[in-house]
Structure 1
Amino acid sequence: MLGAQDILLKYWKHDSFRPLQKEIIDSVLEGQDTFAVLPTGGGKSICFQVPAMMQEGICLVISPLIALMKDQVMNLQKREIKAIALTGGIHTEEIIDLLDNCQYGNYKFLYMSPERLQSDWILERIKNLPINLIAIDEAHCVSQWGHDFRPAYLKISELKKFFPKIPFLALTATATPRVIEDIRTQLELKNPRHFQQSFERKNIAYMVFEVEDKLYRTEQILKKNPQPSIIYVRNRKACLNMSSQLQSLGFTSTYYHGGLSAKEKDKNMQLWMSQQAQVIVATNAFGMGIDKDNVKTVIHTQLPENLENYYQESGRAGRNGAKAFSVLLYNNSDMIQTEQQFINILPDKKFLKTMYVKLCNYFQIAYGEGLDESFSFKLNHFCNKYDFPTLKTYNALQFLSQQGIITMSQEFSEKINIQFLIESKEVIRYMSLNPNDEEIMLAILRTYPGVYEVKSNLNLGLIAKKSNHTEEQVVAVLEKLKEKEIIEYKSKNNDATILFNEVREDDLTINRVSKYLEKQNQVKKEQLHSVLHYIKDTKTCKNRLVLNYFGEETNENCGICSYCITQKGKITEADSIADKILSLLKTASLTSREIETQIKMDTKDIISVLQELLENNHIIIQANNKYTLKS
């Protein structure tokens, strides 16, 4: 049997581990429950993938993120490691086949969401698998004090009954001391070994600037640092607007959000990864599993909802160890609006129940029915029909999804509907004359035996996999068959898909989860106030504020954040700024922006000095908003 170092080199082509990885792997191999807090970029997946490869059997990985599961399975398969993911939207027959593969096909990794454990028959099948390790990714989801609580995580501890000698490995990138203690309790970890890297990223300078013109300041930052950058915004509209504005300023820019098709996501991602685009403007849908080590700058132009997300997103900069910047741009109106808007879009129990009832009515689901029914869903149409506020509705749907009542897939989906129009013998004749189409057609016929009699919803990814072709090749064959009038073929794009995991029970359903909603709303308010405190505190090192939030006490200043730079006197004193302004105005009249461009000092300091010079009659402001020396 190969050792940990040999496995790492053979499959991942690395000859050394990152800090704490080897210690965590050794703990797991000794059969110990283990808890690891590794910041973003710390290499959490290696901690369970390497020990799983060193032992007989299969590693069960619990993860809440469909995109991350798919990404990890794809990466393992590229390394010729057999892995499977039970994601949402897979039919029972397919799940049975996949679990059979796990039991008899020498697979090494089984990824699934925690909601899957709520199905007794799936749990029964898992009990019979040769599990060698149970890894719980994003373990903070088990805590009601965490930033992404999911009650389904509370079921994970039941696996202890069936696998009493199999170690649990709980992993998270961000957790406060209260959350850490809750995770250990809720997962019933037995005398767990605890490993935790410092949250300090010594090479990242946390910069917080109050600015009036965010686009102008962003332009300055990107010109000064022309290396790869990420700009985080709150929604899809802002994503497109910022990217197009940057392009008009001469920057190579692309964008990424949850509403793009898989093809568009991959295309835009590759533009940025290959350095053809300096900037990628993104919502928080972007980032999971992204490993680009030369990101110089991460800019937030809108306030993050919590410091956990802010820390993770900031941590995508400077993974190569070089100095990097995490910049947060804000103005006073941001803080007032964010707080008001944030409170207004938190659904309460009354709204949640009303929305749930209307959702069931929208899909014509009767009381006591709806289990395992799946529907395409357009959020805007639903909100317009019932006059619901969009963001509040989205948050309510997301809450129901987190509780496992529904599964809301926000990935761009293409619904394909087909039916054969000719008899089976004619289909066989066509395949014999067109052998290049045969594998795809056989995969369809074997997967959907009723496709002659009724229209069938086709899972494009599944057919591509079964026929060993790409999705594009499958679509090309379908288009060809449609043109020859062999099949009826319709394709429709949807914003999302909603799968009902429980029967409709209205009051019973909502009453059961409303206590979680109230606590979650309280946690979210506290987290937002922590963000506002981080911004407003002008007397503390920003790095210390981040570390203190995550329970690390330090009296040392980082020396490179926006606060520390002002303390070092790198921002010129008012009288020095005044001298520079007066010197510039001797040669020409200038606007405040032109002065700022030439002096390259903080906007707030320059405006303050200009006001002082005006009050003391050293300068005047003209009708064209240009400052000039008073004659």
Structure 2
Amino acid sequence: MRRSPADMEEARRILRTRFGHEDFLPGQAAVVAALLEGRDALAVMPTGAGKSLLYQLPAAMGVAPVVVVSPLISLMRDQLRGLARSGVAAVALHSGQSEEEHGAALAAIADRRAKLVYLAPERLAGDGTIALLRAAGVALLAVDEAHCVSHWGHEFRPDYARLGEIAARLGAPVLAVTATAGPRTRADIIASLFTRAPEVFVSSFARPNLRLSFRPRGDAAGRLTRFLRRREGESGVVYVNSRRKADAMAATLRGLGFDALAYHAGLDAATRAAHQDAFFERAGVAMIATIAFGMGVDKKDVRFVVHADPPDSIEAYYQEIGRAGRDGLPADALALFDPRELAGRFGFAPPADDPVALGETERRRAMARLCLTPACRFQTLLAAFGEESGRCGRCDNCRGGLMALPRRAGLVALGWRVAVLARFAGAGAERLDEPEETPTPAAAASVSLEPSVSLEPKEEPLSVAEERLYRRLLLLRLDIAKRRRLPPRAVASDAALRRLAVTRALDGESVIAAEAFLRAVAEA
């Protein structure tokens, strides 16, 4: 499969004539060049970055057949329709085919007419399928949604775990692509899927047009109604965690005058198709959906994504908010959470010898930290993918300048309350404000208002400035306690005040921020 560097010019010509693109999107050219030179590659690129082109373009250039492992029949069908328009011969093998369609696909593979072959990992695992593909001389094995290979990926699928063995039997170069894989997941993909070290390409996950906001759920119906009222006439997705909620919420919103439709796996195929068509064809539709409405959704003008229930991982959250603003215009992502539910994510430690349970637990905890952090949301999110960044300036924790300090302080107080609830659930003294992996640049750059959730006092003596601020906070706490008729430690513990004093320097702005924090703790 090794090609000369001059073939990149041919790649650009085919990119224009077959696929209708003037040039590569950022990150695509380097991956295509590696594949044309016969190297293995892992490409981590955000939603909308053009991952499918990475394996479709080599196939159109004659590097064929390319076998594409894809998790959903709907994704296969979407890509087959696009390839038909581009004039690239492609077939699929899946359970939704008629006997005639299945036989035609097998014949196209055997005759080497098919440039791309799409199939699910379950179908690829059969000995007969592997023999057929080996006889066809597979030039590249492309694994889409490659995070499914990893126990640490947010959608681990056992059938994906066999792909490393199957890749070795096919003997072809391997391309793994995913939109959501942090450093630990990437390492697991490499160990599980590749027999030789791949080139790793990680594109930026920054989405400058997205505005992230998180709120305690409280009156969820009221919050959601107000949010949608401000966006009437705009299309978006509201994610919930059950079919029952999707149906009930869609009905409630319709009763309030919104164009709201439900989408979940419990609906019959005709209803799902009708609702999906309406979402794509009508302006102002709010799709109330479970995660069944996700992969393959490519509507450019989605203006908002709401999580009425937080997803189980940062990766899933990022993938789902990636449906918004794909036209590059501003879009909003709002997530509602229940502090008690977040505490439950820290309450029980999984067995140390169960990698699936460990991966699931840490993903859920990382998402809880994102809900509770008073630091920049996008900075924290990007750090989970191993990417350094400055403050985004657009999220709810960045907007408002000094005026936002009390609200951010309230998040710190809420984090402490979650920690207490988690301890009752069996979490011990686990810290909720930082991940278990190596501290990231974003954690180091987070706002100095963020203390540890662990309330153990520091052993080191306080400096003169710290001691002065500590005593000032003790007096302020006493004043608050008297006015509220509470014991002082019911307002904030000595350890909490000591930690706060250590995190602030004794200048005017710091004292204001510290006092605002203490008042927010008392009112939270």
**TM-score of the two chains, using structure 2 as the length reference:** 0.70
Alignment of 1:99-498 (within 5 A): 99-104=106-111, 106-164=113-171, 166-226=172-232, 227-335=234-342
Kept in 1, the 8 Å contact 2:130–2:170? The answer is: no
TM-superposition CA deviations, 1:156-194 (whole Å, max 9, x none): 234554554x42111011111111122122222534222
Query: Any idea what SS the aligned residue of 2:403 has?
Result: coil
> Residues 57 and 332 (structure 1 numbering): CA distance in 2 closer, same or farther, change over 3 Å?
closer
Paired residue secondary structure (1:316) = coil
Distance 1:339 1:89 in 2: 41
* Helix, strand or coil at the partner of 1:148: coil
Indicate how the Cα distance of structure 1 residues 277 and 117 shifts in structure 2: closer, same or farther if over 3 A, else same. same
Check 1:92–1:322 CA distance in 2 against 1; reply closer, same or farther (3 A cut). Answer: closer
Q: Report the secondary structure of 1:107's partner residue.
A: coil
In structure 2, relative to structure 1, the CA distance for the partners of 1:566 and 1:334 (3 Å cut) is farther
Amino acid at match of 1:541: C
TM-fit CA distance, 1:29 = 1.2
| Maintained 8 Å contact 2:42/2:198 | yes
The 3-state SS of whatever aligns with 1:563 is coil
Residues in 1 aligned to 2:263 and 2:297: alpha-carbon distance in whole angstroms: 12
* 3-state SS, counterpart of residue 149 of structure 1: coil
Query: Are 1:302 and 1:334, in contact at CA under 8 Å, matched by a contact in 2?
Result: no
Q: Aligned-pair distance for 1:50?
A: 1.0
Cα distance in 2 for residues equivalent to 1:339 and 1:235: 22
- Residue 90 of structure 1: how far off its partner (Å): 6.5
Alignment of 1:530 with 2:375, yes or no, is no
State the AA in 1 paired with 2:115.
K
Structure 2 matches for 1:527-566, cutoff 5 A?
527-538=363-374, 540-554=375-389, 556-566=390-400
Deviations 1:347-379 (A, max 9, x none): x9xxxxxxxxxxxxxxxxxxxxxxxxxxxxxxx
How many aligned residue pairs are there? Answer: 402
Given residue 559 of structure 1, which amino acid in structure 2 is its aligned partner? Answer: G
Cα pair 1:33 1:169 within 8 Å, conserved? yes
* Counterparts of 2:218 and 2:165, CA distance in 1: 53
Report the AA paired with residue 155 of structure 1: R
For 1:569, what is the secondary structure of its paired residue?
Answer: helix
Identical positions, percent: 34
Q: Tell me by how many angstroms 1:19 deviates.
A: 1.0
Q: Which amino acid aligns with 1:140?
A: H
Cα distance change on mapping 1:34 and 1:336 into 2, 3 Å: closer
**Hey, what's the Cα distance between the residues in 2 that align with 1:243 and 1:338?**
28
Q: Give the letter for the 1:332 counterpart.
A: P
Distance 1:278 1:127, change over 3 A: same
1:74 aligned residue = 81
Change in CA separation of 1:87 and 1:51 when aligned onto 2, cut-off 3 Å: same
Q: In structure 1, how many angstroms separate the alpha carbons of the residues matched to 2:170 and 2:137?
A: 10
SS at match of 1:182: helix
Distance change in 2, residues 1:23/1:207 (3 Å): same
Shift of 1:290: 1.2
1:529-572 deviations in Å (ceiling 9; x for gaps): 1121111222x111111112112233x21111111114353699
State the alpha-carbon separation in 1 of the partners of residues 38 and 344 from structure 2.
Answer: 51
With over 3 angstroms needed to count, the CA separation of the structure-2 counterparts of 1:571 and 1:293, relative to structure 1, is farther
C-alpha distance in 2 between matches for 1:163 and 1:333: 49
Q: CA deviation at 1:98?
A: 3.0
Task: Provide the secondary structure at the position in 2 that maps to 1:12.
Answer: coil
Counterpart-to-counterpart distance in 2, 1:96 and 1:155: 26
In structure 2, C-alpha distance between the alignment counterparts of 1:94 and 1:322, rounded to whole Å: 41
Maintained 8 Å contact 2:46/2:179: yes
Q: Report deviation, 1:228.
A: 1.4
Letter in 1 for 2:395: C
1:88 CA drift (Å): 3.6
Q: Is the 8 A contact 2:305 2:320 kept in 1?
A: yes
Query: Partner of 1:380 in structure 2?
Result: none
**Aligned-pair CA distance for 1:11:** 3.4
Evaluate the alpha carbon distance shift between residue 119 and residue 282 of structure 1 in structure 2; reply closer, same or farther with a 3 A threshold.
same
Distance 1:5 1:261, change over 3 A: farther
CA RMSD of aligned residues (A): 3.0
What's 1:378 paired with? none
Match of residue 20 from structure 1: 27
Q: Which consecutive residues of structure 2, in runs of 5 or more, have no partner in the other structure? A: 1-6, 408-479, 485-524
Q: 1:29 aligns with which of 36, 40, 47?
A: 36
* Paired amino acid for 2:39: Q
- 1:307 deviates by 1.1
Find the counterpart in structure 1 of residue 461 from structure 2.
none
CA distance in 2, matches of 1:225, 1:542: 22
SS of 2:318's partner is: helix
Deviation at 1:257, TM superposition (A): 1.1
SS at match of 1:131: coil
Taking the aligned partners of 1:565 and 1:553, their CA distance within structure 2 comes to 20
Change (3 A) 1:113 1:180: same
User: Based on CA coordinates, which of the two structures has the bigger radius of gyration?
Assistant: 1
Superposed displacement of residue 308, structure 1: 0.9
Counterpart CA distance in 1 for 2:294 and 2:18 is 24
Q: Is the 8 A contact 2:141 2:174 kept in 1?
A: yes
Give 2:200's aligned amino acid. H
CA distance in 2, matches of 1:89, 1:247: 34
CA 1:161–1:334: 2 relative to 1, 3 Å: closer
Shift of 1:9: 3.0
Task: Supply the AA of the counterpart residue of 2:199.
Answer: R
Query: Which whole-Å CA distance do the structure 1 matches of 2:279 and 2:124 have between them?
Result: 38
- Structure 1 position 313, deviation (Å): 0.3
Counterpart of 1:215, as a letter, is A
Equivalents in 2 of 1:9, 1:220: separation in Å? Answer: 45
Aligned equivalent of 1:520: 356
Mapped contact 1:254–1:277 kept (Cα < 8 A): no
SS at match of 2:302: coil
Structure 1 residue identity aligned to 2:397: Y
Aligned equivalents of 2:156 and 2:99: distance in 1? 27
Q: Any conservation in 1 of the 2:397–2:404 contact (CA below 8 Å)?
A: no
Asked if the contact 1:103/1:130 (under 8 Å) is kept, the reply is no
Among residues 39, 43, 47, which one is paired with 1:40 in the alignment?
Answer: 47
Whichever residue aligns with residue 194 of structure 2, its letter is: E
Q: Secondary structure at the match of 1:15?
A: coil
Tell me the distance in 2 between the aligned counterparts of 1:334 and 1:56: 50
2:457 is matched with none
Q: Is the 8 A contact 2:91 2:118 kept in 1?
A: yes
Structure 1 residue 13, shift from structure 2 partner: 2.5
